[in-house]
Amino acid sequence: MGVVNATPDSFSDGGKYLDSAAAVAHALQLVEEGADILDIGGESTRPGADVVSAGEERARVMPVMEGLARAECKARISIDTRKPQIAREAVAAGATIWNDVTALTYAQDSLETAAVLKCEIVLMHAAGDPKTMQQNPTYKDVVEEVYAYLSGRMEASVRAGVSQDRIIVDPGIGFGKTVAHNLALLANLDRFAALGRPILLGASRKRFIAAFDREGPAGGRLGGSLAAALAGLRRGASIFRVHDVSATRQALNIADAIENPDLRR
C-alpha cells in the first residue's frame, strides 16, 4: 500500500504532493514500483495536526482520484479519511477501501456509511485524536488493550451491517503510543491474528525509528522502516502501508524467498 499524501502538513512529505498533478504522478510512480494499493489522503493525522474541513479535504483528494481514473490506474484505491462524506464520494469515484484511523468512530453515521458502501474497511486503533494523542499515552497492557479495542470495533461494525470479510485491522503504530508501546505491538503483532482478519502495518518512517538512531528528516528512516516491515511479515502482517514502495517490496520478496523454498529460483 503506497502512501499518497495530498496535504501540506503530513509528517513525512507534507506539501510535496499537494498539487493534484504531482500527487497523480507520484501515485503512478508507486504503482510502477510495485504498489498494489494506493492510499490517498487529504487530511494529515500526524501528532498535533488540526482538523481539515470536508470541503478542503474534498478539494485535495477528488482531483487525484479523477486523475488516476483518467490514467486507467491498475492499483486498487484506498481513501484515507475519517469523514463518511469523503468516503462516499471517493468510493463513487472508484475507491474500494476506506482506511479510517478512528475505526468508524469519528461521525455518528460512520458505521452506517461503511455498511452501505460495502467496500473494505480498515479499522485502526488510535488513542485520542491527532491533536492530543501523543500527550502522555498510557496503557496497562498495550497489546491486550489495542486487541480488545479492535475486537470491539469489529463487533460494532458487523452489528451495523459491515460484512466481517471486508474488515482489515491496524494496531495504529504511532497513534497515541510511546516508543515502547510501538515496539511491543510490533513484537506481538501475531496476537492480532486471533481476530481472523488481515493485519495492516503502518510503521513506515514513523518517529519511533529515530529513537534508535540520530534525529533527522523522516525520509532518512528507510532502514528502520524496512526492519519494522520484515518484523511484521514474520508475525502475520499482510498489508504494508509504506512510503518507499520499491525498497519495501524488494525486502519483503527476499524475506519470502528465504523462508519459502517454492519461491526460490
Per-residue pLDDT, 18: 65
Cα–Cα distance, 151 to 189 (Å, whole number): 14
Using the predicted structure, report yes or no on whether residue 207 has a pLDDT greater than 60. yes
Is the predicted pLDDT of residue 50 greater than 80, yes or no?
no
Given a cut of 80, whether residue 29 has pLDDT beyond it is yes
Quick one: how far is CA 50 from the chain centroid? 19
pLDDT at 130: 67
Reference 80, options 35, 124, 32; nearest CA is 124
Q: Give Dmax (Cα) for the chain.
A: 52
Phi and psi of 199, rounded to 5°? -105, 125
d(CA 236, CA 206): 20
Distances (CA, A) of 40 to 24, 133, 231: 10, 22, 25
User: Once rounded to an integer, what is the mean pLDDT over residues 34-46?
Assistant: 91
The confidence score (pLDDT) of residue 137 equals 83
3-state SS class at 80: strand
Give the confidence band of 148 by pLDDT, cuts at 50, 70, 90.
very high
Q: Which of 244, 49, 224 is nearest to 134 (CA)?
A: 49
Among 48-52, 89-93, 98-102, whose mean pLDDT is lowest? 48-52
The band of 260, judged by pLDDT with boundaries at 50, 70 and 90, is: confident
Q: Over pLDDT 70: what percentage of the chain?
A: 92
Nearest one of 68, 1, 64, 9 to 36, comparing CA atoms: 1
Buried b or exposed e, range 203-214, using 16+ CB within 10 angstroms: bbbbbbbbeeee
Say if residue 214's pLDDT is above 90. Answer: no
Please report which confidence band the pLDDT of residue 216 belongs to, taking 50, 70 and 90 as the band edges. Answer: confident
Mean pLDDT of the chain: 92
| pLDDT (0 to 100) of residue 8 | 74
Active site residues: 206, 241
As a whole number, mean pLDDT of residues 33-46 equals 91
Nearest-angstrom CA–CA distance, 105 and 254: 38
pLDDT tens digits along 182-206: 999 999 999 999 999 999 999 999 9
Please give the model's pTM, rounded to 2 decimal places.
Answer: 0.93
Q: Residue range 7-26: average pLDDT? A: 73
All cell numbers assigned to 132 = 492530543
pLDDT at residue 221 is higher than 60: yes
Q: Regarding predicted confidence, which is higher, 14 or 93? A: 93
